[in-house]
Amino acid sequence: TGVGAGDLLAAMLAGADFGTALMWVVVVGAVLKLGLNEGVARWQLATGTTLLEGWCRHLGWPLKAYFFVYLVLWSFIVAGGLMSACGVAAHALWPIFSIRTWSIIHSSAALALVALGRYTVVENVMKALIGLMTVTLLLSVVMVGPDLMSVLRGFAPTLPKGSAAATLSLMGGVGGSVTLLAYGYWIREKGWKGAGSLSGVRIDLTVGYVLTGLFGIAMLLLAAAVLGGGAGMPPGSEGLVACGDAVRVATTDRFGASAGGVVAMIFLIGVWGAVFTSTLGVWNGVPYLFADYLDALRGRFDAVVDTGGIAYRGYLFYLAVPPMVLLFLDRPMWVIKVYTLTCGLFMPLLAATLLWLNSRRKLVGELRNGLVATATLVMALFLFAVIAGRQLIDLL
């Protein structure tokens, strides 16, 4: 679910402007997010409580109040951004409805699926869509046929002139933000507990972030191959249509007109799968955060979130319906960019608290931060603080 509008937009813009030179950034971003997510899971396996419960138990009221306000505002903006991203992708794929109408349809579909389906239903739908987006985008890359040597050179760390902002955006956009906290509730649904589950969690997360990295690389390669040379990318669905058309032209030159049209359609299906899985994951995962946070503020720890309760379902409705007002701004890409900013502002907080809490033996025992985990968290704290500052400056 961490793969979505942020990855999509950042990778396409980076590939269009700087070719394959920033591919290494995708890898670094995925590794850092893997380290953060592993820290979230390790806290829960060690303590039996979610990280949110840990914040409420061991950190002060200023953080509690800040996160509550942040979560409510983040949810509203991100929900609007994800709706817009779904509308943009669906309109580019099948323009029978407006972007706004497609956005409302996708939000309503995600609402119905989460409200009516059990966790296993949502999980299986997510698996199918993740498989769809991975296969379609990798197939698109193979069919377009990027230059192998330029691909290999992209893994060597370089910073082309004028690429600082794109580098930070690309690194921050890979692999989700607040949704990393939702992983704790999903491993609780799976029944994974204690230190004995750590190896399974690490395998699970590694597979997830390998797929995340492959998605980001695939999007960057496609944009580099068909929009490279500083051509830039038009905004909104026009940008996706332009990229899809460029994919069609590139594959038509190699395999003929019929194949070109098919590959362009495959590419757009993959993009749609990416943004809808992100939406579905947020609609399912973020209400857990809200309901659990309310329980923790009342001193109820270790409680299993009631997905049929008022707190969970009320917040699900809050995600799916009120942010629709943002769709009437008629600036879908602006909403998506604000969404990536609010995501970036969360990451330094997460890295700092994991660095503090997971280093205390009396709290996490044998699962405390080791040398590698500590180094990863320190690097993540520094880089994501820089990213958040840069995004704030760019927005203002």
Assess contact for 143 and 313: CB atoms under 8 A.
Answer: no
pLDDT band at 143 (very low <50, low <70, confident <90, very high): confident
Report the alpha-carbon distance of residue 208 to residue 273 in Å, rounded: 16
Is a pLDDT exceeding 80 seen at residue 263? yes
User: Average pLDDT of 95-118?
Assistant: 92
How confident is the model at residue 220, as a pLDDT? Answer: 86
Residue 357 Cα distances to 251, 289, 350, 369, angstroms: 51, 19, 11, 9
Neighbours of 378 (CB within 10 A): 14
- Per DSSP, the three-state class of 59 is coil
User: Average pLDDT of 124-143?
Assistant: 86
How confident is the model at residue 217, as a pLDDT? Answer: 87
Report the alpha-carbon distance of residue 147 to residue 390 in Å, rounded: 32
Assess contact for 186 and 280: CB atoms under 8 A.
Answer: no
How confident is the model at residue 111, as a pLDDT? Answer: 96
pLDDT band at 148 (very low <50, low <70, confident <90, very high): confident
- At residue 58's C-alpha, the angle toward residues 57 and 63, to 5°, is 90
Q: What is the pLDDT of residues 338-354, one digit of tens each?
A: 655 565 667 888 999 99
User: Average pLDDT of 272-281?
Assistant: 89
Is a pLDDT exceeding 90 seen at residue 112? yes
User: Average pLDDT of 226-252?
Assistant: 66
User: Average pLDDT of 257-268?
Assistant: 81
Q: Per the confidence metrics, is the pTM higher than 0.75?
A: yes
Neighbours of 126 (CB within 10 A): 19
Neighbours of 242 (CB within 10 A): 18
Closest Cα partner for 213 from 180, 175, 166? Answer: 175
Assess contact for 173 and 9: CB atoms under 8 A.
Answer: yes
What amino acid occupies position 65? A
How confident is the model at residue 119, as a pLDDT? Answer: 84
Q: What backbone torsions phi and psi does residue 156 show, to the nearest 5 degrees? A: -90, 125
Assess contact for 209 and 33: CB atoms under 8 A.
Answer: yes
Assess contact for 222 and 338: CB atoms under 8 A.
Answer: no
pLDDT band at 396 (very low <50, low <70, confident <90, very high): low
Closest Cα partner for 36 from 390, 377, 392, 386? Answer: 377
Least confident of 82-91, 100-109, 366-375: 82-91
Closest Cα partner for 279 from 234, 241, 324? Answer: 324
Report the alpha-carbon distance of residue 263 to residue 144 in Å, rounded: 9
Helix 371-395 to helix 332-357 angle (10° resolution) is 150
pLDDT averaged over every residue in the chain: 84
How confident is the model at residue 357, as a pLDDT? Answer: 93
How confident is the model at residue 197, as a pLDDT? Answer: 94
